[in-house]
Structure 1
Amino acid sequence: MELNEKERQGLWLGRAQLDVGPAVVTLRDGRLIDITSKQAPTVRDIMEMDDPAAYVRGASGTDVGALGEVAMLAPCDLQAIKACGVTFAQSMVERVIEEQAAGDPDKAAEIRTRVSEIIGDSLDQIEAGSPKAAKVKQELIELGMWSQYLEVGIGPDAEVFSKAQTLSSVGTGADVGLHPMSNWNNPEPEIVLAVNSRGNILGATLGNDVNLRDVEGRSALLLSKAKDNNASCAIGPMIRLFDDTFSLDDVRNAELDLTVEGEDGFVLNGRSLMSKISRDPTDLVKQTVGRHHQYPDGFMLFLGTLFAPTEDRDEPGQGFTHHIGDRVTIASDGLGALTNTVRLSTECPEWTFGLAALMRNLAGRNLL
């Protein structure tokens, strides 16, 4: 993670793997500073403070190495990992195609043409849940093209699902996993909000919501099997806390660049523009937390992606799918870069460090 001038001004919070166990770290002058303490043994504890940014800015700590020399973990710990789906019109159409193709990539190209002819530009610049959206919904129902994906894409209720178990996400530099059952899959470059238990959005980072297009396309009821697998969720490199140099408006205007570099020489480039999202980030947070559902340790919220790859990689008309060994980099000016290598979930390191292990580790270090 090399920081540009804009990023060097940022206030960063994350986690690093040290010999003694996971450490809460911040970044100062390119150096990682261990700020783990009894007052704040976890990232969650800092996020629940009245002024997390002030605490991190003033916290004393120990230099543990230069950025890039220390293994980075996902920057969250006790938080729930939630994700929003179908929040961009372009990727929403791709979900309809997946559904119509029943997860078969051979049928996708033909269906893409037909769906595009029927739907056309009717979903552009549409506000989810608006009267215009309701009108478009009725028109699509009459054409026989209504879909559960369109329901959550332009209807009043957003799709919010559990992406991964607490502490199971991997950080930058780690392998990211594909379930062996999948033959049609892709990365999903997203911004991830850091939200505390009170619903306050305190910062943002990057995420890869690995997507198994064939599994979810066969049935939306397979969503959890398609989304939550060993090493299938990457978050990082660090949370950039909101301060006078970075705010939610920067998130709203962020541009994400995706690069996939295959061992076969294949290169895929993509972009996701937050300005094209169909729902404001604050609305997505409100639909996640409130009187209807509480998160006492806060949560990380994937905001969805505009990116949906259609470029052929192997056979004409089959579009893109990962190859084992692909190097995936998701970058955004102001948030750094998240880089992971694609493996099968069955080949990635098993997830063994859960909540009990973390509590025992912290207790053994006299931090609880």
Structure 2
Amino acid sequence: MRYYHLSVEGSDGTHLVAETNDGEAYDLTSASEDLGSFTALARAANATEQTLDDVAAARIPDADSVDPGRLAAEADQPVRAEEVWASGVTYEISEQAREEESGKPEVYLDVYESERPELFLKATPSRTVGPNEPIGVRGDSTWDVPEPELAVVIHRGDVVGYTVGNDVSSRSIEGENPLYLPQAKVFERCCSIGPCVASPGTVGDPHELTLSMRIARNGDVVYEDETTTGEMVHSCEELVDYLGRHNVLPETAVLLTGTGLVPDDFTLQDGDEITIDVENVGELTNGTVTV
């Protein structure tokens, strides 16, 4: 199943909506107030030693139906992660792009070939946006790109689902000096996730997924390409394992797993529209705004 957060008329906040694999949608919160969020669903699954989908399926008979057409247009952030982390240089093309932009290319090659992955804190809730919201472009940067990524959703240290992530980055700032990475990566509206969390049973093997990105400007497509998560040099399990080493994670966290698509000779502008699609997960669309 896929899980969305959706506003419901007459209620405060959002409700948790489950979309079944046959395309039907159900308001799980209407069946149980205890299932008011994705984290609450993950908590219930953990307490009963069931899967997310088992818990949801048991509540669907008592849940209100939702028009599936509302999901793509009205979805909010699918999970309120206290921390969003990210992985760097997990695809060969990303390593090559970082070498080209930096005066210290050996730094990126060393990371790509190392057993230890690059991991960094990407965003807090206040810096993260959901589908159909604008991502931010730093006003003091001259070269800015979206980075489309498969994102792992972690609950109490375990992988419980997958979503789509956009690790918005300033290549000019990072390229000036790798030590400027936090400023190149962490700023207002620097991260987008959504539109849903897809369960492991729905996604299948996370290392066999097609990932694509399209960027439109004034109605014209100015970039379009795709790759596969099979090109990752580290598995999702390895990345999550390293993230949890000697590091106390919040109850729910998201880990972006790196990008295999880096636009060349391109920088984001106000009004651009970025659409990222991850096979078996979903499609995430955002506009852009200077921050």
Tell me if both proteins adopt one fold, taking TM over 0.5 as the criterion. yes
CA–CA separation in structure 2 for the residues paired with 1:340 and 1:182: 20
Matches within 5 A, 1:251-270: 251-263=206-218, 265-270=220-225
Against the structure 1 CA distance between its residues 67 and 232, is the aligned structure 2 distance closer, same or farther, given a 3 Å change threshold? farther
CA–CA separation in structure 2 for the residues paired with 1:168 and 1:35: 26
Matches within 5 A, 1:181-260: 181-197=140-156, 199-243=157-201, 245-247=202-204, 249=205, 251-260=206-215
- Where does the alignment leave 5 or more consecutive residues of structure 2 unmatched? none
Check conservation: 2:85, 2:123, Cα contact below 8 A: yes
Root-mean-square deviation (CA, aligned residues, Å) is 2.1
SS at match of 1:181: coil
SS at match of 1:330: strand
User: Offset at 1:26?
Assistant: 1.6
Check conservation: 1:188, 1:211, Cα contact below 8 A: yes
Matching residue of 1:14? 4
Q: Which amino acid aligns with 1:263?
A: N
CA–CA separation in structure 1 for the residues paired with 2:136 and 2:26: 27
Check conservation: 1:32, 1:67, Cα contact below 8 A: no
**Is 1:343 paired with 2:289?**
yes
Matching residue of 1:277? 232
Check conservation: 1:13, 1:56, Cα contact below 8 A: no
What whole-Å deviation, never above 9, does each CA across 1:102-122 have from its counterpart, x for those lacking one? xxxxxxxxxxxxxxxxxxxxx
What whole-Å deviation, never above 9, does each CA across 1:319-366 have from its counterpart, x for those lacking one? 111121111111133122111111113xxxxxxxxxxxxxxxxxxxxx
SS at match of 1:91: helix
User: Offset at 1:180?
Assistant: 1.1
Matching residue of 2:76? 73
User: Offset at 1:64?
Assistant: 5.0
User: Offset at 1:39?
Assistant: 2.6
Matching residue of 1:128? none
CA–CA separation in structure 1 for the residues paired with 2:28 and 2:273: 29
Matching residue of 1:172? 131
User: Offset at 1:65?
Assistant: 4.3
Matching residue of 2:263? 309
- Where does the alignment leave 5 or more consecutive residues of structure 1 unmatched? 1-10, 101-144, 311-318, 346-368
Matching residue of 2:99? 96
Check conservation: 2:144, 2:267, Cα contact below 8 A: yes
User: Offset at 1:98?
Assistant: 1.4
Matches within 5 A, 1:29-68: 29-31=23-25, 33-35=27-29, 37-48=32-43, 49=46, 50-51=49-50, 52-59=52-59, 60-68=62-70
What whole-Å deviation, never above 9, does each CA across 1:204-252 have from its counterpart, x for those lacking one? 1111111111111122222222222222211111011122x432x1x10
Q: Which amino acid aligns with 2:258?
A: G
Matching residue of 1:313? none
Matching residue of 1:293? 247
Matching residue of 2:110? 151
User: Offset at 1:264?
Assistant: 6.8
What whole-Å deviation, never above 9, does each CA across 1:62-86 have from its counterpart, x for those lacking one? 3454433662222111442111011
Normalised to the residue count of structure 1, the TM-score between the two structures is 0.70
Number of equivalent positions = 278
Check conservation: 1:272, 1:305, Cα contact below 8 A: no
User: Offset at 1:146?
Assistant: 5.5
Identity rate, percent:
24
Against the structure 1 CA distance between its residues 176 and 20, is the aligned structure 2 distance closer, same or farther, given a 3 Å change threshold? same
Against the structure 1 CA distance between its residues 266 and 334, is the aligned structure 2 distance closer, same or farther, given a 3 Å change threshold? closer
CA–CA separation in structure 2 for the residues paired with 1:171 and 1:32: 20
Moved over 6 A (4+): none
Name the larger-Rg structure.
1
CA–CA separation in structure 2 for the residues paired with 1:99 and 1:193: 28
Q: Which amino acid aligns with 1:329?
A: T
Check conservation: 1:53, 1:242, Cα contact below 8 A: no
User: Offset at 1:94?
Assistant: 0.8
User: Offset at 1:25?
Assistant: 2.1
Matching residue of 1:125? none
